């Protein structure tokens, strides 16, 4: 190999190295400058956009360097076909990196917008997957169009093979469509506290494309297939609102003054509402004498309301303690269960 042949290889290599080094320096300075600007703003949108394009910008530098090298270097005729392939590769790299960056950015921006706006939109993993999937599909179609590949035969092939794929993945597809149904219907939302018919209860952590994650009060995560969840009878304690009425049964002796008992229970209920933040301040406590007469006591029910379902346990705890103290102060007897037997001589 003579010197001229070395020149044909050396010049493109020098152009590529110089262009890459220059662009990497520009990229570093630009990202550092934009990072400082984003730190001065209160919104997270600019941080999300900057982070989404940080990695793709690395591939853009490589792609642009290859393109500049091909454009300005005097590539020999025998290597012209390689330059054509490299040019196509450059376009594909740029389209693919932009597509992935936009897909990632759109999902994160959607989540940030919904959370900051307090909108009643389904901020679930399934929603992000759908948004990102649509953008990636569009990018894939653009790449096929650039390569001159007709998508009509591809769609036909997918239609023929779709039946076989649907049969093989029927459980997965059932969970996918069940997740879409749950998300659109909004009967269950991320953050809601729900109880299933089998007794399982907890907060909805995420509704994915295949499963729904529920965080129990014991701090464990339960994973339920969407299809199973859609067929279950569910109690949503956050619909139509978070506040919840709780009933506290109270038994007193038949010798007690029922008006006095009612007054003391009302005082206890109002004191609980006044002293604790987890109580529903807009609900006036109620006292009701239960229907019927038990064998050894008069049974009342104190009705109070808590701000959300998980507050019921501490509310009942504090209310029972207060009722016991007030009954002792007012000499109201809480009877033991007893049975009176009368014997008659035959």
CB atoms within 10 A of CB 252: 21
Q: Where would I find the H helices in 40-150? A: 45-72, 80-117, 125-146
- Residue 216 is predicted with a pLDDT of 92
Q: Which CATH class name applies to 244-329?
A: alpha beta
pLDDT at 123: 53
Q: What is the pLDDT of residue 6?
A: 58
Fold classification of 175-236 is SH3 type barrels. (2.30.30)
- Identical fold for domains 175-236 and 244-329, yes or no, is no
The residue ranges of every structural domain in the chain are 3-149, 175-236, 244-329
Segments of the chain scoring below 50 in pLDDT: 1-3, 119-121
Q: What is the pLDDT of residue 120?
A: 47
Q: DSSP state, 281?
A: T
Q: Are β-strands 298-306 and 244-252 bridged in parallel, bridged antiparallel, or unpaired?
A: antiparallel
**Radius of gyration for the alpha carbons in the chain, expressed in angstroms and rounded:** 35
- What's the confidence (pLDDT) of residue 31? 84
Query: What are the residue ranges of helices labelled H in the chain?
Result: 3-39, 45-72, 80-117, 125-146, 151-168, 170-185, 226-230, 258-275, 312-329
């Amino acid at each position: 190999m003579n010197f001229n042949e070395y020149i044909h290889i050396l010049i493109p290599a020098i152009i590529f190295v110089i262009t890459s080094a220059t662009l990497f320096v520009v990229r570093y300075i630009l990202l550092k400058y934009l990072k400082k600007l984003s730190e001065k703003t209160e919104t997270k949108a600019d941080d999300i956009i900057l982070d989404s394009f940080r990695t793709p910008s690395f591939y853009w530098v490589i792609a642009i360097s290859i393109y500049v090298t091909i454009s300005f270097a005097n590539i020999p005729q025998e290597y012209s076909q390689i330059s054509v392939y490299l040019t196509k590769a450059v376009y594909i790299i740029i389209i693919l990196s932009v597509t992935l960056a936009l897909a990632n950015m759109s999902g994160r921006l959607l989540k940030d917008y919904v959370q900051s706006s307090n909108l009643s939109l389904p901020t679930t993993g399934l929603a992000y997957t759908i948004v990102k999937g649509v953008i990636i599909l569009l990018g894939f179609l653009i790449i096929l169009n650039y390569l001159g590949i007709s998508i009509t035969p591809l769609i036909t092939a997918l239609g023929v093979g779709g039946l076989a794929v649907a049969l093989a993945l029927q459980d997965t597809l059932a969970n996918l469509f069940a997740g879409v149904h749950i998300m659109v219907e909004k009967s269950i939302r991320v953050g809601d506290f729900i109880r299933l018919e089998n007794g399982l209860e907890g907060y909805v952590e995420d509704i994915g494309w295949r499963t729904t994650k529920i965080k129990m009060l014991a701090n464990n995560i339960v994973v339920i297939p969407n299809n199973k969840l859609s067929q279950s009878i569910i109690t949503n304690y956050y619909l139509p609102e978070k506040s919840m009425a709780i009933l506290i049964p109270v038994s007193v002796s038949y010798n007690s003054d029922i008006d006095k008992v009612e007054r003391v229970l009302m005082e206890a209920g109002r004191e609980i509402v006044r002293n604790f933040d987890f109580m529903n301040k807009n609900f006036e406590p109620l006292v009701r004498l239960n229907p019927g007469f038990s064998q050894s006591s008069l049974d009342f029910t104190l009705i109070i309301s808590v701000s959300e379902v998980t507050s019921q346990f501490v509310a009942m705890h504090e209310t029972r303690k207060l009722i016991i103290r007030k009954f002792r102060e007012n000499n109201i007897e809480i009877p033991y269960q007893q049975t009176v037997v009368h014997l008659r001589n035959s």
